[in-house]
Amino acid sequence: MKVTVFGIGYVGLVQAAVLADAGHHVCCVDIDPDKIAGLKKGVIPIYEPGLEALVLKGTREGRLVFTTDAAMGVGHGQLQFIAVGTPPDEDGSADLKYVLAVAETIARHMAGRKVIINKSTVPVGTADKVSAKVAAVLAERGESLPYAVVSNPEFLKEGAAVSDCQKPDRIVIGTSDSEAEKAMRELYAPFNRNHDKVIVMDVRSAELTKYAANCMLATKISFMNEIANLAELLGADIEAVRKGIGSDPRIGYHFIYPGCGYGGSCFPKDVQALVRTAQQVGYEPALLQSVEDVNYRQKQKLFQFINRHFKGELEGKTIALWGLAFKPNTDDMREASSRVLMEALWAAGAKVQAFDPEAMDETIRIYGQRSDLKLVSTLEEALAGADALAICTEWQPFRAPDFERIKASLSEPVIFDGRNLYEPAALKAQGFTYYAIGRGDSISQNQ
């Protein structure tokens, strides 16, 4: 099929590359000329396992093209994906200006029937707004061309985006238009082979499904973080509790890892956006608000441990930091817990010596060069001359480090672990002071 994707960010690029790999002909449109020029030369703007190979293959085989020419994009696809950003505005609501600008572009240039697909995470009611925008522009043009607006949310995880997209758990299609449903089923047929993963529903339910999924996952994490905080005060061990509750299949082992808070481009933004949506219809979403509040507090935790340990005397201290990305296998720093920690340390007069396997360029892009931030190229270099080690991301190479070397490098053997990577008893036996999240004994021994 012929498909156009507007917005070649994370979601758009992965979706386009995966569709092209499955045999569709995909035209990618973005307003950023540098990004498009780079992609034409095979420069992939984000790090995502497997993505580069797919983009290069699609381009070589002629099924994936990149352009800034919106008219060409509209002309190309019978299916028009909108995958542009929906950044939060000042009050946390999703800002729809980019989505509606693409709707307008499509309506300006279309010459025949189009299926317009919302892939961006958008508030309930957006499909209706897109539809109204297209209708208004067509009326202005004096045309009455047929079109349908479909909600088709993505559920991909960063770091596993390509495989999530190729092997989706479910394909949610929100439409009441039978022709559009047929086209969407045909589009996704290559990904829907073994059993039917397509779930068709009305457009508003599809829009809410995306928020409900992300908010449920964020709720699981904040719930665990709350219990972890309690475990610290009660002298219990959250890791034992996690195993204990996860064994109940109704709860499950997935996504109940406590830590120094969730980050990324989805959970913080989507929880806030659903809170705003609820308030706009006169409902106070107490649970969602708490999910957000617990996460805000959780992101301060490592700094609080560090500050307490050093009795508020952080001026001139150097903290080694392992992990900058909001989670492993990505270079994404959006809403990363590391940022909250670094900014608090800097404000207190401490220096940071950081290592991350992928996110160092991104860190420089965000913070620039500064005298209180040194980025180094190995785990070991981060430790050299530092006063303590803090860990914000559970990258695989951090899981089994050389503890003797850590001890020898730090001026004091103390580790602040925001991802519970180590066993408190083992670290204690090796002479470390070890702070982790919700591991009662390890915390109380330091209090």
**What is the C-alpha to C-alpha distance for residues 349 and 316, in angstroms, rounded to an integer?**
6
Site for ligand UDX in 280-299 (CB under 6 A): none
Which positions are catalytic?
Answer: 266
Give percent helix, percent strand, percent coil of the chain, each to the nearest 5. Answer: 45, 15, 40
DSSP state of 319: E
Report if residue 262 touches ligand UDX, rule: CB under 6 A: yes
| Number of chain positions touching ligand UDX (CB under 6 A) | 20
Q: What is the distance between the alpha carbons of residues 155 and 335, in angstroms, rounded to a whole number? A: 19
**Residue 266 contacts ligand UDX per CB under 6 A:** yes
The amino acid sitting at 188 is Y
Q: Is 269 annotated as a binding residue?
A: yes
217 contributes a contact to ligand UDX by CB under 6 A: yes
Cβ at position 243, least distance to ligand UDX in Å: 13
Tell which one of 188, 191, 223, 255 touches ligand UDX (CB under 6 A).
Answer: 255
Taking CB under 6 A as the binding criterion, the range among 52-60, 128-136, 152-160, 378-386 that sits at the site for ligand UDX is 152-160
25 binds ligand UDX (CB under 6 A): no
* Smallest separation (angstroms) from ligand UDX to the CB of 325: 9
Helices 301-309 and 337-347: crossing angle in degrees, nearest 10, is 40
Query: Residue 134: which region, alpha, beta or left (left: phi > 0; alpha: psi -120 to 50)?
Result: alpha
Which residue number, 255 or 367, has a Cβ lying nearer to ligand UDX?
255
Q: Name the residue nearer to ligand UDX (CB basis): 99 or 266.
A: 266
Residue 140, marked binder: no
Q: Is the dihedral of CA 378, 380, 386, 390 positive or negative?
A: positive
Q: Contact region for ligand UDX (CB under 6 A) — 46-54, 153-161, 179-187, 370-378?
A: 153-161
Residues in Cβ contact with 368 at an 8 Å cutoff, skipping those fewer than 6 apart: none
**Comparison of 123 and 264: residue with beta carbon closer to ligand UDX:** 264
Q: Which stretch binds ligand UDX (CB under 6 A): 148-156, 229-237, 308-316, 345-353?
A: 148-156
Q: What is the DSSP letter of 260?
A: S
Does 58 bind ligand UDX (CB under 6 A)? Our answer is: no
Position among 77, 85, 264, 401 found at the interface with ligand UDX (CB under 6 A): 264
Q: DSSP letter for 95, please.
A: P
Binders in 336-375 for ligand UDX, by CB under 6 A: none
Q: Work out whether 214 is an interface residue with ligand UDX (CB under 6 A).
A: yes
Q: Which of 327, 351, 374, 439 binds ligand UDX (CB under 6 A)?
A: 327
Interacting residues of 226 by C-beta distance below 8 A, sequence separation 6+: 294
- Helix ranges (DSSP H) in 178-237: 178-188, 203-234
Among the listed residues 63, 159, 154, 148, the one whose alpha carbon sits nearest the alpha carbon of residue 112 = 148
Residue 263 annotated as part of some ligand binding site: yes
Contacts of 240 (CB under 8 A, 6+ apart): none
Site for ligand UDX in 224-253 (CB under 6 A): none
28 has which bridge partners? 5, 66
Q: Rounded to the nearest whole angstrom, what is the least distance from the CB of residue 369 to ligand UDX in the complex?
A: 26
Residue 29 DSSP one-character state: E
Binding positions for ligand UDX, rule: CB under 6 A: 154-158, 214, 217, 221, 255-257, 259, 262-267, 326-327
Q: Binding site membership for substrate: which residues?
A: 155-158, 210, 255-259, 263, 327
